[in-house]
Amino acid sequence: MPAPEDITATLLAERLPLTAFFASVTRDFHLAEDVFQEVCVKAVARAESFETTAHLMNWARLAGKNRAIDILRARDGRYVGLSDEMLALLAADWPDQTKVDAMQEALDQCITQITPNNRELLRLRYFERRNCTDVAAIMGRKIETVYQALARLHKTLGDCIRTRLQTDSAS
Amino acid sequence: MNDTDFFDQAMRYQDGVLTPDEIAAFEAAMRDDPAKRQLFADTQVRSMALHDRFRQEAFQSSCDFSRTSPKKPFTWITRPIAAMAAGLVIGLFSASVVGAISSPKATTERLFSLLNGSFDENRLERGFPRQTGLWSGDEAAIHDGQLRFISPGSDSNDPTGRAISCDVFQLVDLRPLRHALSPEGDSVLELSADFLDARAPNTKPSVSFFCQLYLFAGDPGSLHQTWPQSIPAAIASGSAEVTTLGLDDKGTRTLTVKCLIPAQADFAVIQIAARPNLRPAKLEGLSADNVRLSLKTQPSLPVRIVQR
């Protein structure tokens, strides 16, 4: 059974992949972080019930997913998003922090290769919490162009990260 | 669905614009294809990492975190994990308001050790505060019961630093609270503040408001000598932010942050700030009000198992 301080350390170390999973439900990264906070507090309160770290992580993903759905139902009256079955499938192979650490290091390099305009697009979408309609208005583009640009950017960054990780592991 | 179409649908899913039928088709593409599920997971994690990165960059600009890690120009987590674990960082840079976890046994006590939170008293000093109970910071003014942000300022301990944001601070002595803290160590300090961007709608540049809470051990009177380089020494912290483009339908925004209070916490640093996202820029029409600090003791945090 992990000690309470180990639970805290584990959840904090896995913050990014956990919040990314919660964001699969919320579609809002800030709200996903709020869910993460609540999961941390609940986990500490029931520390004695976790038998292993894996048990804790499974519980955290499930509790956070349920909490996120509850918040959306309370706010919007309904939840429209990925089904429980799909979220469970995704959770089974969700990246852990070890993989995310390597990805972040690679992203650090890859993001320097994109244009200032594309960087601003990502900043508006992922930092300023703008939806794509707002991003299109701010950048003077059509909304379809924004979706295509974001999709292309994710593909480019994903390919770049994969290449860097393969190069690193080969060397 | 090829990868290009899949990414396009993933962006629309993130944006919340897919209809139930479109979500079903998106799911179908993933259900029988582990590679697509991996693509989705990687996209989500990358998006979250981008969110984190841009936020950290914003904070790094204003706090010059790089001097704490000279070999690495960019740090993904600015606080050491050990320090974070010691304090259980709650409220990590969240922008929305979360209701307290409901508990019939929870108690909430407004703390009046944070003084002049409604800015009724026109007392504001310059520079990082050297004593508790006093607002002090960059160029700002108290007017009509509100704190008006006037101009970004650089940190006095960092003469080479750029003026990024207008920061106003107050130190709050937590030692008198110790008797009120839950013995289970799950007392939560909650800071909230109202922010208003009264500029005309869609005024550029955008402005980010920040509400931050740091807990430290030691002497509050000496922190000004090392701020902001001492931020990594915080034993717990929380931060919330919101970005605005002038007055909109939402009007005043309330930001709330929470921190579990470690037993060794001696004092808190309350920081409220406005940062224009393009510089130089005047800070006109930007104000804060109603800064509140509450202690929540939750002797029995509820755990709700939801069956679906």
Residue A17 near residue B45, CB atoms below 8 Å? yes
Q: Does residue B50 sit within a domain?
A: yes
Say whether pLDDT at B91 is over 60.
Answer: no
Domain extent for B281: 109-298
The per-residue pLDDT for B97 is 30
For B232, which DSSP code? G
The C-alpha atoms of residue B50 and residue A127 are separated, in whole angstroms, by: 8
Residue where a domain terminates, one of B103, B130, B163 = B103
User: Is the domain of B135 the same as that of B20?
Assistant: no
Burial B50-71 (b: 16+ CB within 10 A, else e): bbbbbbbebbbbbbbbeebeee
Residue B231 near residue B64, CB atoms below 8 Å? no
pLDDT over 90 percentage in chain B:
36
The per-residue pLDDT for A1 is 60
User: Is the domain of B126 the same as that of B173?
Assistant: yes
Tokens in use for B17? Answer: 């614009």
The C-alpha atoms of residue B24 and residue A85 are separated, in whole angstroms, by: 12
The C-alpha atoms of residue B189 and residue B175 are separated, in whole angstroms, by: 13
Residue B288 near residue B125, CB atoms below 8 Å? no
Give CA angle at B65 (B218, B89), nearest 5°. 55
User: Is the domain of B58 the same as that of B160?
Assistant: no
A92 or B259, which is more confident? A92
Write the Ramachandran bin of B119: left for phi over 0, alpha for psi from -120 to 50, otherwise beta: left
Residue B292 dihedral angles phi and psi, to the nearest 5°: -130, 140
Residue where a domain terminates, one of B80, B103, B126 = B103
Mean per-residue pLDDT, B153-175:
81
Q: Does residue B190 sit within a domain?
A: yes
Q: Does residue B269 sit within a domain?
A: yes
A115-154 residues touching B, CB cutoff 8 A: 122-123, 126-129, 131-132, 147-148, 150-152, 154
| Poorest-pLDDT segment among A158-167, B98-107, B147-156 | B98-107
Q: Does residue B305 sit within a domain?
A: no
The per-residue pLDDT for B71 is 32
Q: Which residue of B has its CA nearest to A133?
A: B15
Handedness of CA A142, A143, A144, A149 (dihedral sign): positive
Residue B6 near residue B39, CB atoms below 8 Å? yes
User: Is the domain of B123 the same as that of B150?
Assistant: yes
The C-alpha atoms of residue B187 and residue B297 are separated, in whole angstroms, by: 4
| Poorest-pLDDT segment among B77-91, B98-112, B271-285, B286-300 | B77-91
Number of domain units in chain B: 2
Q: Check CB contact of B303 with chain A, cutoff 8 Å.
A: yes
Q: Does residue B255 sit within a domain?
A: yes
Which CA distances in Å does B79 have to A13, A29, B58, B168? Answer: 12, 20, 15, 22
The per-residue pLDDT for B54 is 84
The per-residue pLDDT for A47 is 81
The per-residue pLDDT for B232 is 76
Residue B255 near residue B95, CB atoms below 8 Å? yes
Say whether pLDDT at B226 is over 50.
Answer: yes
By three-state DSSP, how is residue B292 classified?
Answer: strand
Residue B22 dihedral angles phi and psi, to the nearest 5°: -70, -35
User: Is the domain of B227 the same as that of B250?
Assistant: yes
Nearest to B10 by CA among A100, A147, A94: A147
Give CA angle at B217 (B214, B222), nearest 5°. 90
| Poorest-pLDDT segment among A47-56, B35-44, B53-62, B107-116 | B53-62
Residue where a domain terminates, one of B69, B87, B103 = B103
Mean per-residue pLDDT, B165-169:
93
List the single best residue of B1, B14, B26, B235 to mutate versus A (max A Cβ within 10 A). B14
Q: Within 13 Å of residue A108, how many CA atoms lie on the same side as its CB? A: 15
Per-residue pLDDT of chain A (171 residues; tens, 9 = 90+): 667 778 888 888 899 999 999 999 999 888 888 888 888 888 888 888 888 888 999 999 999 999 999 989 988 888 999 999 999 999 999 998 888 888 999 999 999 999 999 999 998 898 877 889 988 988 889 999 999 999 999 999 999 999 998 887 776
Residue B47 near residue B10, CB atoms below 8 Å? no
Contacts with A119 (C-beta within 8 Å, 6 or more apart), sequence order: A111
The pTM (predicted TM-score) of the whole model is: 0.57
Mean pLDDT highest for which of B163-167, B177-181, B290-294? B290-294
Mean pLDDT highest for which of A21-25, B69-73, B83-87? A21-25
Q: H-helix or E-strand containing B181?
A: none
B101-120 residues touching A, CB cutoff 8 A: 101
The per-residue pLDDT for B79 is 34
The C-alpha atoms of residue B139 and residue B152 are separated, in whole angstroms, by: 7
The C-alpha atoms of residue B190 and residue B179 are separated, in whole angstroms, by: 18
Residue B126 dihedral angles phi and psi, to the nearest 5°: -105, 150
Contacts with B221 (C-beta within 8 Å, 6 or more apart), sequence order: B130, B131
Specify the residue for token string 């209809």.
Answer: B19
Say whether pLDDT at B70 is over 60.
Answer: no
User: Is the domain of B167 the same as that of B268?
Assistant: yes
Say whether pLDDT at B235 is over 90.
Answer: no
> A100 vs chain B: nearest CA distance in angstroms?
7
User: Is the domain of B18 the same as that of B48?
Assistant: yes
Question: Residue B15 and residue A108: Cβ atoms within 8 Å?
Answer: no
A126 CB neighbours in chain B (<8 A) are: 47, 50-51, 54
Bridge-based pairing of strands B253-260 and B188-197 is antiparallel
User: Is the domain of B99 the same as that of B221?
Assistant: no
Distance of CA B218 to the CA centre of its chain: 23
User: Is the domain of B47 the same as that of B116?
Assistant: no
Say whether pLDDT at B185 is over 70.
Answer: no
Question: Residue A81 and residue B98: Cβ atoms within 8 Å?
Answer: no
Mean per-residue pLDDT, B91-106:
36
Give chain B's mean pLDDT: 77
CATH number for the domain harbouring residue B151 = 2.60.120.260
- Strand residue runs (E) in B202-300: 207-216, 236-244, 253-260, 267-276, 286-297
- Residue B280 confidence class, pLDDT cut points 50, 70, 90: low
The per-residue pLDDT for B112 is 67
Q: Does residue B32 sit within a domain?
A: yes
Give DSSP secondary structure letters for B30-96.
HHT-HHHHHHHHHHHHHHHHHHHHHHHHHHHHHH-GGGG-TT-S--S-SS-HHHHHHHT--STTB-S
Say whether pLDDT at B121 is over 70.
Answer: yes
Question: Residue B92 and residue A131: Cβ atoms within 8 Å?
Answer: no
The per-residue pLDDT for B160 is 64
Contacts with A22 (C-beta within 8 Å, 6 or more apart), sequence order: A31, A32, A35, A36, A64, A65, A68
The per-residue pLDDT for A23 is 96
> B123 vs chain A: nearest CA distance in angstroms?
33
Say whether pLDDT at B74 is over 70.
Answer: no
Mean pLDDT highest for which of A29-33, B154-158, B168-172? B168-172
The per-residue pLDDT for B279 is 65
